[in-house]
Structure 1
Amino acid sequence: MEFNPNNNIVKLCIQGMDMEEKGKSGAASKLFLRAWNEATDDFEKFTAAHYLARHQKNVPGKLKWLETALQFALKINNDTVKSAFPSLYLNIAKCYEALNRPNQAKKNYELANSFKDKPSDKGPFYHGTKADLQVGDLLTPGGSSNYKPGLKMNHIYFTALVNGAGLAAALAKGVGRERVYIVEPTGSFENDPNVTDKKFPGNPTRSYRSQAPLKIVGEATDWVKQTPEELQKWREKLAGNKGDIIN
């Protein structure tokens, strides 16, 4: 299963998030409910339930949708959703606490604490860029951000989704051709906090970062390129993003 921004349910959730940002909560709720009704697989249902939980007017309603989201996350149980477990269990615990059910609250607080933010993803991993590099070269932190002028990055970023790396290559600065390199982390790495649980729950884009270099071990050529129209939409979205980068 690979995260696909062109998926119909993902598109509905993106539209819902846009409505949220505009303060149109009612319209957002309708879009998330439509996403739930049209969802056909576990990931789609997990995603829609996550957003429906946020829009409930009372604690029992919120708890119902949080536990529904958890049910589907547990069925999926892979690297796209594992980082969502701490927040899911934490919010479920808070609901039980509000409902004066201390035993269930305690159990879920303990489950939330049991999940460590240590990615289990084994790759393969990819890094997209326009730089002309060779096998054996090292990618190191300290480069300029592609998304915020003047910002030097303290980490080097990579993903386990080859098409995600291809998109990063297309959006990268420079005039060279788009390259997607197969890389190996030389040290520990973490979920990219700029995407994990920020928009979609968990880490569906399987995006990571490290302060240790990445070693180039090959180049991937079989990845889906975005159309010029799709790339323009991404550039407009990035240009309109006023949020701070967690560096």
Structure 2
Amino acid sequence: MTDALDDGPFYHGTKAALQVGDLLTAGFRSNYRPEVVMNHIYFTALRDGAGLAAELAIGDGIPRVYRVEPTGPFEDDPNVTDKKFPGNPTRSFRSTEPLRILEEVDDWTRLTSEALQEWRERLAVLRAEPRGEIIN
């Protein structure tokens, strides 16, 4: 893994209720392919991108966005980097090392129920496609 060229701040979206100082680690099921246990923990430098991930996360909790700090090296997320646009416009990253929770943020843009449903439908289509594999 090489260091990504982004200084953050960084965010992680989830439905888990976490505390400052908690560590987020790899080893949990993917929100996009639940049959896959992830080898990495994912994060973004876009607050609203983390909000989207929080809204789409598996579980019944309320969507939450946390400002996080990588505790080790990280790389561009190969699941989005150079897939549709050159480079990493989503400023999405991943690491095998934990992310430390610095604070919960609440000034991210929530999706309308219609937009959230559209995203869920897109994910259902991706799950059904064999080319929708996750680079783990």
Whether the TM-score (by the shorter chain) exceeds 0.5 is yes
Q: 2:100 aligns with which of 182, 192, 215?
A: 215
Unmatched segments (≥5 aa) in structure 2: none
Q: State whether structure 2 residue 104 is matched by structure 1 residue 245.
A: no
Separation (CA, whole Å) in 2 of partners of 1:174 and 1:118: 31
- Structure having greater relative contact order (Cα 8 Å, sep ≥ 6): 2
| 1:134 alignment counterpart | 19
> 1:240: Cα distance to partner?
0.6
Which segments of structure 1 move beyond 6 Å, counting only runs of 4 or more? none
The root-mean-square deviation of aligned C-alpha atoms, in Å, is 0.9
**Within 2, Cα distance between the matches of 1:124 and 1:147?**
24
- Deviation per CA, 1:161-205, whole angstroms, max 9, x where unpaired? 000000000000111111000100000000000000011221111
Q: Percent identity?
A: 68
Q: Which has the larger radius of gyration?
A: 1
Whole-angstrom CA distance in 1 between matches of 2:125 and 2:35? 17
Match of 1:153 among 38, 41, 51: 38
Within 5 Å, give how 1:89-238 maps onto structure 2: 118-238=3-123
List alignment gaps of at least 5 residues for structure 1: 1-116
Tell me which protein shows more helix as a share of its residues: 1
Aligned residues: 131
Structure-2-length-normalised TM-score: 0.94
Cα distance in 2 for partners of 1:150, 1:239 equals 14
